[in-house]
Amino acid sequence: MLTCTAKHILVPTEEACLELKQKIEAGAEFEAMAREHSKCPSGRQGGDLGTFRPGMMVEAFDKVCFTEAVGTVHGPVRTQFGYHLILITSREGKAE
């Protein structure tokens, strides 16, 4: 069974997402940025979404989590909720 663990930051605009990505790439801690800026309740836990399987997240988010590189900040990823930065922390197993 394929699973992924990830953290994310949800903000309302692409501009805000890009600004946060620049700060993180310049050395800001992803979890601190999530606690300070994320509009998702997971922000209180540093953006931690725990472990999930394909199909449990909205399509655009899911696609990034199960196809892009682990350990890299991806985004902006647009969904109906807003704009996300996604940090994939692990991916295990294989598609069934």
Return the H-helix or E-strand segment holding 56. Answer: none
What whole-number distance in Å separates Cα of residue 29 and Cα of residue 69? Answer: 19
Q: Which fold has domain 3-92?
A: Chitinase A; domain 3 (3.10.50)
Helices and strands counted in the chain (H then E): 3, 4
* pLDDT tens track for 36-74: 999 999 999 999 999 999 999 999 999 999 999 999 999
* pLDDT tens track for 21-34: 999 999 999 999 99
Q: Quote the pTM value.
A: 0.95
Cβ atoms of 74 and 22 closer than 8 Å: no
